C-alpha cells in the first residue's frame, strides 16, 4: 500500500494536469478570432505504476495532408485572381464602345473611301477621309500608350512582390531558428502557427512546396522547379532583373533562374513577358515610333 505522500503526489499531478487542460482551453478561446491560429489540446497520459496523470504534450490539431492540399489550391487561386485582374486591365485597353470605338472609326474611314471613290475630287470628302484616318492613328497611339503603361506597371508590381517575398523568406528562416531553439521545452505551437501563416502568404506570391523536417523546421521549394528557397535557417534571395536583349523580366533565386508555376508572380511575369504586353501582337513593330 502506498504512503499518504504517494496519494498526495497523485492528487497534485492530477490538479496540475487539469490546470494545463483548462489553460489550453482558455488559450483556444482567447485566439478564436486570431488569423492562422490552430486549435490545441493537452494530451494526458498515465504515470506508471498507478502514479496519476500528467501532460505529455500540447498538440496542434492539424492535418498536414490537408494543409499541403490547401497550399496547392491556394497558389493556383492566387495566380488566377491576379490573371483576372490583368486581363480586365487589358480588356479596358482594347474596349470598343459602340459609336466611339476603333471599330466605328474604321467603318467611318471605309465609308469615306467609298464616297471618295465616287467623287475623288470633292475636297470636303477628302478632308473627312483624312480626319477619319487621323482619328484612327490617334486612337491606336493612345492604346499603345496604355499598353506601355501596363507594361511598366507590371515591372513595378513584379519588384514589389519580389521584395515582399524576400521579407517573408527572412521571417520563415527566423521562425525556423526559434523553433529549433525551443526543442526540449514546451511545444512551440504558436511559433508553428505563425510560420504556417507566413508560408501561406509566401505561397500566394510565388507557389511553394513545403517539406517538414525532423527538427521541426520546414523546407520550401518553388513549386514544379525543385529550386530551394528555405532550408532551416538558410534562404535564397529572389531578384527580378530586366533582360534588355529579350525584353523580359527574369526571376532568379540566388543565381538560379526560376519560372514560377503558381502564385501571383506566375501571372504577373507571364503577362509582362508576353508579346501582347509590348503591343507587338496587337499593332506590330511599325507603331513603336
What is the C-alpha separation between 198 and 196, in angstroms, rounded?
A: 6
Specify the pLDDT at position 259.
Answer: 94
For residue 5, the model assigns a pLDDT of 87
Residue 230 to residue 116: CA distance in whole angstroms: 69
pTM above 0.75, yes or no: yes
Distance, CA of 228 to CA of 217 (rounded, Å): 14
pLDDT band at 279 (very low <50, low <70, confident <90, very high): very low
d(CA 154, CA 159): 9
| 136-188 residue pLDDT tens | 888 888 888 988 899 999 999 999 999 999 999 999 999 999 999 998 888 89
pLDDT of residue 286: 38
Quote the cell numbers at residue 32: 478564436
Contacts of 269 (CB under 8 A, 6+ apart): 158, 249, 251, 259, 260
Closest CA to 226 of 257, 250, 201: 257
Burial of residue 117 (number of CB atoms within 10 Å: 0-12, 13-18, 19+):
exposed
Q: Write down the pLDDT at residue 289.
A: 36
Amino acid at each position: 500500500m502506498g504512503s499518504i505522500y504517494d496519494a498526495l503526489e497523485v492528487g497534485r499531478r492530477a490538479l496540475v494536469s487539469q490546470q494545463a487542460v483548462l489553460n489550453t482551453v482558455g488559450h483556444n478561446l482567447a485566439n478564436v478570432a486570431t488569423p492562422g491560429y490552430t486549435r490545441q489540446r493537452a494530451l494526458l497520459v498515465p504515470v506508471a505504476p498507478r502514479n496519476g496523470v500528467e501532460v505529455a504534450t500540447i498538440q496542434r490539431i492539424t492535418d498536414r495532408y490537408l494543409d499541403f492540399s490547401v497550399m496547392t489550391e491556394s497558389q493556383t487561386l492566387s495566380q488566377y485572381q491576379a490573371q483576372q485582374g490583368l486581363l480586365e486591365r487589358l480588356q479596358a485597353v482594347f474596349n470598343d464602345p459602340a459609336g466611339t470605338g476603333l471599330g466605328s472609326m474604321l467603318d467611318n474611314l471605309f465609308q469615306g473611301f467609298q464616297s471618295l471613290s465616287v467623287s475623288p475630287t470633292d475636297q470636303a470628302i477628302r478632308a473627312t477621309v483624312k480626319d477619319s484616318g487621323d482619328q484612327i492613328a490617334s486612337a491606336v497611339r493612345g492604346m499603345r500608350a496604355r499598353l506601355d503603361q501596363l507594361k511598366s506597371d507590371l515591372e513595378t508590381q513584379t519588384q514589389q512582390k519580389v521584395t515582399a517575398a524576400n521579407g517573408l523568406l527572412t521571417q520563415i528562416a527566423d521562425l525556423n531558428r526559434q523553433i529549433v531553439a525551443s526543442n526540449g521545452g514546451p511545444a512551440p505551437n504558436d511559433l508553428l502557427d505563425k510560420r504556417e501563416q507566413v508560408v501561406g502568404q509566401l505561397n500566394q506570391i510565388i507557389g511553394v512546396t513545403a517539406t517538414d523536417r525532423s527538427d521541426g523546421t520546414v523546407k520550401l521549394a518553388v513549386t514544379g522547379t525543385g529550386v530551394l528557397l528555405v532550408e532551416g535557417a538558410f534562404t535564397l534571395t529572389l531578384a527580378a532583373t530586366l533582360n534588355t536583349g529579350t525584353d523580359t523580366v527574369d526571376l532568379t533565386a540566388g543565381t538560379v533562374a526560376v519560372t514560377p508555376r503558381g502564385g501571383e508572380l506566375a501571372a504577373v511575369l507571364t503577362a509582362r513577358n508576353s508579346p501582347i504586353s509590348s503591343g507587338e501582337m496587337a499593332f506590330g513593330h511599325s507603331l513603336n515610333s
